[in-house]
Amino acid sequence: MADNSSYHETVGRNDAAHSAELRRLLRFRQKDGQIWLGEHRAVLLHADYLRGLRRELVDTLGRTRAAGALFRMGFASGKADAALVRSLLPDAPLTDIMRLGPDMHGLEGLVVGRVDRLEMDLSLGRFHAEASWQSSWESEEPFDDAKEPTCYSQTGYASGYITALIGLPVVFKEVSCLSCGAFQCNIVGRPVSDWGAADPWVALLQPDNIGSELNKLTEKVAHLEQRLIVQRSQGSLVGVSRNFIDALALLEKAAPTTVNVLLTGETGVGKEAFARWLHTNGPRSDKPFIAVNCGAIPHELVESELFGVEAGAFTGSKSSRPGRFERADSGTIFLDELGELSAAAQVKLLRVLQEGEIDRLGSVNPTKIDVRVISATNVDLAQAIANKRFRSDLYYRLSAFPVSIPPLRERQADILPLAETFLRRAQDQYGRNVGPLSDMAVMALLSYSWPGNVRELENVLSRSVLLADEGGDIGIEHLGISITDDNDAIVGRDGQLRTVGADHRDDAGDLLSLGGLEDIEKLLIQRALERAKGNVSSAAKLLKISRAKLDYRMKSRNIVLTNKRTRNAL
């Protein structure tokens, strides 16, 4: 495949529409002090700040190593933007996506770019591109008196952008630069294999700073040491928030003893995980840990499940069977949803705690047991006692050492460490390899109230691993939760900020750039279908027309549904 067309040819309708799509990527959430480029958080910085940072890198690392650091930073940015543009325009031709690289660079305020030559035959591993730049921020101040090219981060950006798109390692060189007195900056890109591994521009991709490597190793050792310390104290529990640490500190005091512990907190906060930690770090860690969900056992079976049954105790009981307490003998029993126990079961449980013995159903001989009891509830037991639904004497026996587990909304610092743990676990479980969370996905996780607490977070992350593309990042669309964008602002065609509410509207200039009423109607239908996640009936409601009318318009406009998004039929 070859493409020799020039970027500065007359821009067609599709190019104008694509440029408009790129502008919509940039959003200003002024109320929250945030700028977003797609799902990546961006920061608006003065060029003087960046130039000062570059000078600091040169003074600290030396010119060659500073150039390498800048080149690699640009390379990573280019790869991220290529993925962003490809996800926005999945059906656009590859050459169109390539030519949008300069548009992205310009949107970010870095440089005005133009593709002058583009030739490639990917089946043979051939690629050759030439581009020119104006208004480069990097060229406004040379590195030193040597008057050599200075646009290393931008050259790295072009290299990363193309490499990500074609899957072939490509490196661009800056062959002339405004900082050297040239009329404009010019770059040439070819595969790494064409340049050769010894080429100085190719070498910029490989960090060679021994001091930097030593610093990385030192940081890794310190990080591992810190993780070992945390793991020794927390075990399988994950959290760094003050509320989490306070709850854990209480458990640490109870762990070496056999005191009965009552864990309270909302559904899904992880009470069983805390109970297991308590057992593992206590004197009975090598003994059984038996977990019982009292709310999941039918009331008529609670006693036999907890305390066992003798053969012939009731119809169908042909053999003796130990209950959960006997199975936990010398170890720990965890009674979850304690508030769901029946009155009869409460009486028997009180006797177990008082006498240290149980009575199987149908037995006349009590059995001695030694069990540590950890219980948990999301019910207000004080209110249950007042309503005569729970025995006060049983409550006092079980709550010798109460520990409240805070909800996840009060442990915001724990959300991302937990998310990382759940993502690793889900990838191992489902055999999938997905990328990290996008910046906007992270923001959504931190902004969501998590009514289902840790259990809901785990379910959301497990689902996102299945929904995300193999090797791709996890975006906000994979989470199934959202953050409000009522205060967002976008850049209009005239370069001015336009506020957009929950009902996003394209500005008139962008609509007119599509060419005509028919194109605008097609875009409106596609947007409604995207918002309705492909549900035609819901899209019809958004458009305030009947389902039959929408079906007719979709057919006449050649709009079809795919598993990911709507697109024009080819």
* Residues 484/478, Cβ–Cβ less than 8 Å: no
Query: Would you say residue 342 has pLDDT above 90?
Result: no
Q: Which residue has the higher pLDDT, 188 or 515?
A: 188
- Helix axis angle for 242-254 and 271-280, nearest 10°, is 40
Residue 445: closest CA among 405, 473, 467, 414 = 414
> Quick one: 292 and 441 in the same domain?
no
In the block, residue with structure tokens 């610093």: 215
- pLDDT bucket at 127, cuts 50 / 70 / 90: very high
- pLDDT bucket at 24, cuts 50 / 70 / 90: confident
pLDDT at 565: 42
pLDDT digits (tens, 9 = 90+) for 268-294: 999 999 999 999 999 999 999 999 998
> Quick one: 422 and 397 in the same domain?
no
Q: Structure tokens of 117? A: 């030559």
How many Cβ atoms are within 10 Å of 315's Cβ, its own excluded? 6
Sequence-distant (6+) residues with CB within 8 A of 103 are 18, 19, 22, 113
- Do the bridges between strand 332-336 and strand 289-293 make them parallel or antiparallel, or are there none, so unpaired? parallel
> Quick one: 293 and 201 in the same domain?
no
pLDDT digits (tens, 9 = 90+) for 522-535: 888 888 888 887 88
* Count of the separate structural domains present in the chain: 3
Stretch among 260-274, 382-396, 495-509 having the lowest mean pLDDT: 495-509
Report residue 404: phi and psi, to 5°.
-95, 125
pLDDT at 569: 35
Is residue 568 domain-resident?
no
Is residue 525 domain-resident?
no
- pLDDT bucket at 113, cuts 50 / 70 / 90: confident
* Residues 202/212, Cβ–Cβ less than 8 Å: no
Map residue 296 onto helix, strand or coil. helix
Containing H/E element for 566? strand 566-568
Q: Which spans in 109-209 are helix H? A: 152-166, 192-195, 200-203
pLDDT digits (tens, 9 = 90+) for 365-391: 888 999 999 999 998 999 999 999 999
Above pLDDT 90, what percent of the chain?
38
Query: Would you say residue 498 has pLDDT above 50?
Result: yes
> Quick one: 394 and 427 in the same domain?
no
pLDDT at 145: 56
Stretch among 131-135, 216-220, 382-386, 523-527 having the lowest mean pLDDT: 216-220
* Residues 473/438, Cβ–Cβ less than 8 Å: yes
Is residue 232 domain-resident?
no
Is residue 18 domain-resident?
yes
Containing H/E element for 131? strand 126-134
DSSP 347-394: HHHHHHHHHSEE--BT-SS-EE---EEEEEESS-HHHHHHTTSS-HHH
Containing H/E element for 51? helix 47-61
Q: Is 244 exposed, middle or buried (0-12, 13-18, 19+ CB in 10 A)?
A: buried
Residue 208: closest CA among 88, 48, 93, 72 = 72
How many alpha carbons lie under 13 Å from residue 544 in its C-beta half-sphere?
0
Query: Would you say residue 312 has pLDDT above 80?
Result: no
Query: Would you say residue 436 has pLDDT above 70?
Result: yes
Is residue 495 domain-resident?
no
Instruction: Supply the range of the domain harboring residue 399.
Output: 242-406
Return the CATH number at 340.
3.40.50.300
Return the CATH number at 471.
1.10.8.60
* Residues 6/117, Cβ–Cβ less than 8 Å: yes
- Helix axis angle for 536-543 and 547-556, nearest 10°, is 100
Chain-centroid distance of CA 303 in Å reads 45
pLDDT at 147: 67
- pLDDT bucket at 210, cuts 50 / 70 / 90: low
pLDDT at 299: 79
Computed over every residue of the chain, the mean pLDDT equals: 82
Query: Would you say residue 81 has pLDDT above 80?
Result: yes
For range 340-369, the mean pLDDT: 86
In the block, residue with structure tokens 């379910």: 459
pLDDT digits (tens, 9 = 90+) for 145-197: 556 788 999 999 999 999 999 999 999 999 998 877 788 899 999 999 999 98
> Quick one: 173 and 259 in the same domain?
no
For range 27-56, the mean pLDDT: 84
> Quick one: 60 and 189 in the same domain?
yes
> Quick one: 278 and 182 in the same domain?
no
> Quick one: 375 and 461 in the same domain?
no
Instruction: Give the integer Cα–Cα distance in Å for 264 and 407.
Output: 10
- Top mean-pLDDT range of 147-151, 430-434, 443-447: 430-434
* Residues 74/157, Cβ–Cβ less than 8 Å: yes
Is residue 378 domain-resident?
yes
